[in-house]
Amino acid sequence: MFLQLVANGLVTGAVVAIAALGVSLVYGILGFVNFAYGDVMTFGAFVAVLFDGRLGMAMIVAAVLAMVATAILSLGLEGVLWRPLRARRAGFMSLFLASIGLALVLRQAIFLVAGPQPRSYDVDPYKVYVLGSVRLSGAQVVAVAVAAVAIVTVALVLRVTSVGRTMRAVADDRALAAVSGIDTGRVIGVTWILCGLIAGLAGVLSALVQGSFDPNFGFSLLLPVFAAVVLGGIGSAYGALLGGLVLGLATEVSTWSGFHGGVNPVYKPVVAFAVLIAVLLLRPQGLLGRARTL
């Protein structure tokens, strides 16, 4: 039972971690918390429904197309919303409030186009892998593997490629990066594309793990994702990974009956929110973040 909870926690954590990576990237470069991120994930999940269900493509093809579509959406929003706001010298408060407006627009647009009924992908829900006393569904195994590969890839891109280096330079000090010849507009564009790819992937993976989902599901994931970002240390790829895993394990293992009878499973989201508030209070820079004033 305990091992099963740990396994479930790792799956939840891996999916939350990949989503947290996207939030963390945008925060690092643009300095604001994007409230529309959950609904961008929903967008990705629903695009995959279109390709997988309606057009009958293989799940992996549908997932890649959904990532591309989400990246296009993400870049488009930079063009019509974020860049004009920055041009007006909007501070993080304005960007934050605008992202709330955007979240409403995106979610309602998805409701309008796709309808409120729950959806699921055309995958075999009964495929189960047994590992000792632990049983994992096919979707769970795929989610963990893909999330692990994706996170390592993004961390490597940030570490070794020249695009990654310029992104980190812009994150450190945008003005300094600009005077040293970095095209900050282009770097920000690349960041939004990367963030869109990650959001699309995270949307598809969490939808896959959840099994059935409606247009509200991305928004309901947003707070746990924020919790993971803050927990790991904002702006750090490995921090997002660590934050996601710790959060996933904490929420699942908290229900273990060996632990003072365990938390009632209906309170799993509350455990995540409580972890979030506790981290903000005790270590606001996160587990791997640099100390600074928040």
Partner 1 sequence: MSTIASGDFWAFVGVVAGIYALLGLGIQLEFGFAGLLNFGHVAFMAIGAYTMAILVVKLGWSMWIATPLAVVAAAAAGVALGLPTLRLRADYFAIATIAFSEIVRYVATNEETLTGGSQGTINLAGAGQAASYNGDWDRFESWVQSTLRLGSKDAAMLAIVWLVALASCTALWAAGRTPWGRVLRGIREDEDVVSSLGKNVFAFRLQALAVGSALAGLAGCFYAWQFSFFSPADFAPLLTFFAWMIVILGGLGRFFAVPVGAVVFGVLFAGTRFFDFAPFAWFDSAERAYLRLMLIGLAIIGLILFRPQGVLGRREELVLD
Q: Write out the residues near partner 1 by the rule CB under 8 A.
A: 32-33, 81, 84-85, 88, 90-94, 96-98, 100-105, 107-109, 111-112, 116, 223, 226-227, 230, 264, 266-267, 269-270, 273-274, 276-277, 280-281, 284, 293-294
Nearer to partner 1, 211 or 284 (CB): 284
User: Minimum CB separation from partner 1 for residue 277, in Å?
Assistant: 5
- Shortest CB 294 distance to partner 1, Å: 5
Report the distance separating Cα 189 and Cα 192, nearest Å: 5
Q: Which is nearer to partner 1, 130 or 266 (CB)?
A: 266
Let me know how many helices (H) and strands (E) the chain has, helices first: 12, 2
Q: Output the smallest distance, CB 130 to partner 1, in A.
A: 33
Which DSSP state fits 53?
I
Yes or no: say if 16 and 248 are a contact pair by the CB < 8 Å rule. Answer: yes
Per-residue tokens: 216: 């509200």
Closest CA to 217 of 60, 19, 69: 19
Q: Which is nearer to partner 1, 33 or 237 (CB)?
A: 33
Residue 270 Cβ, how far from partner 1 at the closest point, in Å? 5
Whose Cβ is closer to partner 1: residue 90's or residue 193's?
A: 90
Closest C-alpha among 24, 29, 70 to residue 239? 24
- Residue number with CB closer to partner 1 (20 or 65): 20
Minimum distance, C-beta of residue 157 to partner 1, in the bound complex (Å) = 26
Strands 134-137 and 128-131: antiparallel
Shortest CB 213 distance to partner 1, Å: 17
The single-letter DSSP state of residue 290 is P
Inter-residue contact 138 to 124 (CB < 8 Å):
yes
Question: 179 vs 266, which CB is nearer to partner 1?
Answer: 266
Q: How many residues does the chain have?
A: 294
Structure tokens at 168: 């980190």
